């Protein structure tokens, strides 16, 4: 339907609501089914599953960029739709929980809201996702607007980030099986914060590309580990699917706020040439730092201040 849109409200319905709901309906069950198959290497399994969206983030933009000039916007979008249809048939045919639930699960687990560690983690992740999407939304625009990259390279910063994120979603997740997921997501959050602060100092194409690669890797940590932590914090494993779904529904609030809030920080006056990039990157870095501090507090509350402990 996006290929047929001619007005903003149509694009909002097609791209914003329909694709958003569809992506959530694909992503969350794909992760929620994994704990029925894996226990000892759950982090690695979830990291590999989450890396699929990064791989798509490499393929789809490049395909679109290469064909839009040849066949136009409408058919370029339809090609992406056909690719999504073909690849989605595989999990539709194969994705099954190993153990069927004994009864139909409740749509909402109200006990989640009284589970203080779980809610503290979700609150920290909401804040962190707001900071995370500052970089994801504005890194390409920043390169082109400041002249650090030409329009072509500005576009390819997105696939570069997603390629790095594939490794960031698998290698740290595999390590988390040995060290504990909180011990990995905390340095990942602070690394993302440091890179956001450092972006304002990028003064060349090479420096910006290096920051994009590093942020892609460490943002993968922040995206792939939350479902693992949700599983760890859920005592009743029969509620894992419901809790992951509810957790990501709340995390979407941070994603929704990240881009528009950053836009207000970047250009509060609305003038064409009034972009305040320093304020933007400092805002993103500060928000991500706050998330790291929340995770650190949660880790110390649950496991103390000892360094060498699975947490």
**What tens digit of pLDDT does each residue of 101-146 get?**
677 777 889 999 999 999 999 999 999 999 999 999 999 999 999 9
Contact 288, 128 (CB under 8 A): yes
Residue 274 has pLDDT above 80, yes or no: no
From the number of C-beta atoms within 10 Å of its C-beta (0-12, 13-18, 19+), residue 304 rates as exposed
- pLDDT at 309 (0 to 100): 87
Assess if residue 151 is contained within a domain. Answer: yes
Assess if residue 309 is contained within a domain. Answer: no
Residue 230 has pLDDT above 90, yes or no: yes
- pLDDT at 271 (0 to 100): 65
- Tokens 């699929």, residue located: 52
Phi, psi torsion values for 187, nearest 5 degrees: -65, -30
Phi, psi torsion values for 268, nearest 5 degrees: -65, -25
Assess if residue 254 is contained within a domain. Answer: yes
Assess if residue 129 is contained within a domain. Answer: yes
Assess if residue 310 is contained within a domain. Answer: no
Assess if residue 106 is contained within a domain. Answer: yes
**What tens digit of pLDDT does each residue of 55-112 get?**
999 999 999 999 999 999 999 999 999 999 999 999 889 888 887 767 777 788 999 9
Quote the domain boundaries for residue 183: 2-303
From the number of C-beta atoms within 10 Å of its C-beta (0-12, 13-18, 19+), residue 235 rates as exposed
The stretch 237-263 carries a mean pLDDT of 88
First-to-last C-alpha distance (Å) of the chain:
45
Residues 6+ apart with CB under 8 A from 290: 124, 127, 128, 131
CATH number at residue 185: 1.20.1250.20
- pLDDT at 311 (0 to 100): 87
- pLDDT at 36 (0 to 100): 84
Assess if residue 48 is contained within a domain. Answer: yes
Instruction: Please give the C-alpha separations between residue 52 and each of 88, 176, 271, in angstroms, as whole numbers.
Output: 12, 19, 39
pLDDT, greater one: 272 or 154: 154
Return d(Cα 284, Cα 177) in angstroms, integer.
29
Q: In sequence order, what DSSP letters do the residues of 267-302 get, joined into one string?
A: -TT--TT---HHHHHHHHHHHHHHHHHHHHHHHHHH
Assess if residue 29 is contained within a domain. Answer: yes
Work out how many domains the chain is built from and give that number.
Answer: 1
Residue 272 has pLDDT above 70, yes or no: no
Q: What is the pTM of this model?
A: 0.91
Instruction: Please give the C-alpha separations between residue 100 and each of 119, 125, 246, 296, in angstroms, as whole numbers.
Output: 27, 30, 20, 36
**What tens digit of pLDDT does each residue of 159-207 get?**
999 999 999 999 999 999 999 999 999 999 999 999 999 999 998 999 9
The stretch 211-219 carries a mean pLDDT of 96
The stretch 278-306 carries a mean pLDDT of 94
Exposure pattern of 92-106 as b/e (b: 16+ CB <10 Å)?
eeeeeeeeeeeeeee
């Amino acid at each position: 339907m996006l290929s047929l849109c001619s007005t903003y409200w149509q694009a909002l319905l097609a791209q914003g609501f329909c694709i958003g709901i569809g992506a959530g309906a694909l992503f969350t069950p794909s992760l929620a089914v994994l704990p029925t198959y894996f226990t000892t290497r759950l982090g690695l399994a979830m990291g590999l599953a989450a890396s699929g969206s990064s791989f798509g983030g490499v393929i789809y933009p490049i395909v679109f960029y290469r064909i839009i000039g040849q066949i136009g916007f409408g058919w370029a979008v339809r090609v992406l739709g056909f690719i999504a249809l073909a690849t989605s048939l595989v999990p539709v045919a194969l994705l099954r929980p190993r153990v069927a639930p004994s009864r139909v699960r409740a749509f909402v687990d109200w006990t989640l809201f009284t589970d203080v560690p779980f809610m503290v983690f979700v609150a920290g992740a909401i804040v962190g996702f707001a900071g995370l999407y500052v970089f994801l939304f504005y890194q390409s625009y920043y390169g082109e607007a400041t002249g650090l990259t030409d329009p072509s390279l500005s576009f390819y910063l997105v696939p570069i980030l997603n390629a790095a994120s594939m490794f960031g979603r698998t290698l740290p997740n595999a390590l988390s099986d040995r060290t504990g997921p909180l011990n990995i997501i905390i340095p990942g959050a602070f690394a993302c914060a440091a890179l956001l602060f450092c972006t304002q100092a990028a003064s060349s194409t090479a420096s910006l590309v290096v920051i994009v690669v590093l942020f892609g890797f460490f943002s993968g940590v922040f995206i792939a580990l939350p479902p693992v932590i949700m599983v760890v914090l859920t005592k009743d494993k029969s509620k894992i699917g419901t809790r992951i779904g509810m957790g990501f529904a709340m995390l979407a609030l941070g994603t929704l706020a990240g881009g528009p809030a950053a836009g207000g920080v970047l250009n509060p006056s609305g003038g064409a040439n009034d972009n305040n990039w320093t304020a933007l990157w400092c805002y993103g870095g500060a928000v991500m730092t706050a998330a790291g501090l929340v995770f650190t507090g949660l880790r110390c509350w649950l496991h103390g201040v000892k360094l060498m402990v699975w947490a």
